[in-house]
Structures are given as C-alpha cells and as structure tokens.
Amino acid sequence: MDRVETLDPSRPRLPPGQIVTRKWPVLHYGTVPAVDLRAWRFEVTGLVDRPLSLAWDELQAMPRRETTCDIHCVTRWSRYDNVFEGVPVQAVLQRAGVSTDAGYAMVHAAQDYTTNLPLSDLDRPANLLAFRHNGELLPPEHGGPVRLLVPHLYFWKSAKWVKGFELLKEDAPGFWERNGYHMRGDPWQEERYGRPDPVRMRRGPR
C-alpha cells in the first residue's frame, strides 16, 4: 500500500485561530444515517467521459492508500497525526475520465448533503474515499462506512457518508456554503465564512 504525508514545512503546522485537541469531536447536521451496503453505490456523473456507478464490493477491490495528515475544523479545533486508509480519489476520477470542461465538483452524501470543491482541490494525491482511521474502521458518527478526505481544507469539505461526485463547469454552493460558509475553506487563509453575518446552523458543520 502506498502512503502520502501531507505536512508542509513551508507553513505553520497550526492554522491561525485553531486549537489542538487529542479528541475527535463529533459534529454534523442531522442524524447519523443507517447505510445499507447491499444497495450502496458511489457515482461519478456530470462532465465525465464514462459515468461511473460502483457497488461497495467494487470500491473495496480498488487499490488502497494511506494518508497521514492533520485535520482542521472550521469550529476551531485541529487534530494532528491522523492516518486514514482508503481508495485514492484520483483513481476514481481517472476511471470516470474527467472532461476538459470540468472545473468544479459537487460532492453528494447521505441525507442530501452536498459540498462544493474546485477540481484542483479534489484531484490531489492525499485525498481519499476513506474507510479506516488509525487502523480502525470509521465509526458511523465519523462518516463510516466511507467519508471523503480532503485534508488541506476545513473538514466540512471532507463529507461524511459520501455517495458521489458530480463534475461541473461552473462552481455552485453546497449545503453549508448556501448557509454562510466559505466557497473554498482554506484553513491557512481563515476562509471560514462567505458573508459578514453568516447563518449558522445549530449543530455545526460536518
């Protein structure tokens, strides 16, 4: 299994405004869904050459990667030295064949949750469809059986219970972005909110 390390010595390890914790707080909007793996599919649609629909066993059969990373939540906690294991996002995108017209992705997850990403942020070696964390299966409250991992952005972009990517020509806001969060979410630029007076949901981002 290949591995990716994400620490960048050219910048501070802790983004501005963050506090390090050893715990992994549980934050999401709504309830934890029950996922039926017999019916589960991961779909890549939109501006692709070969629309993709993978069953759970097909996704599990793809080559795995480990990513060692820090994670940073927009609610101001950071957790160091996480080891995630899963299928590289790049491998899934390559199988679908991304169109040259595609510039953005809408990430789809359970309970109609969405979040948007520039393709340049989604198509990176460290990003995973992650099944495991620090040697253990991801528990449901942290997005199991599979969550997206995009460690260089605030963690609401790493959607729990992920189900697919929709490749788009133009950017469009997802769930939290429609409710006041930043369209990109770079922790080192403190891209937390997109409006001066954001609408904040009671239970916080994922």
Tell me which residue of 163, 166, 169, 168 sits closest to 51, measured CA to CA: 166
In angstroms, the CA 54 to CA 7 distance is: 31
pLDDT tens per residue, range 34-51: 999 999 999 999 999 999
Average pLDDT, stretch 174-202? 81
pLDDT tens per residue, range 58-95: 999 999 999 999 999 999 999 999 999 999 999 999 99
Task: Give the pLDDT of residue 135.
Answer: 96
Tell me which residue of 8, 151, 166 sits closest to 86, measured CA to CA: 151
Domains of the chain: 17-22+37-189 (3.90.420.10)
Q: Which helix (H) or strand (E) holds 80?
A: strand 77-88
User: Do 205 and 73 touch, CB atoms closer than 8 A?
Assistant: yes
The structure tokens 């994670």 sit at: 71
H-helix segments, the chain: 56-60, 89-96, 119-122, 175-178
User: Do 156 and 206 touch, CB atoms closer than 8 A?
Assistant: yes
Length of the chain: 206
In angstroms, the CA 24 to CA 81 distance is: 12
In angstroms, the CA 43 to CA 77 distance is: 31
At residue 123, what are phi and psi to the nearest 5 degrees?
A: -90, 75
User: Do 173 and 145 touch, CB atoms closer than 8 A?
Assistant: no
Task: Give the pLDDT of residue 204.
Answer: 53
Average pLDDT, stretch 106-113? 96
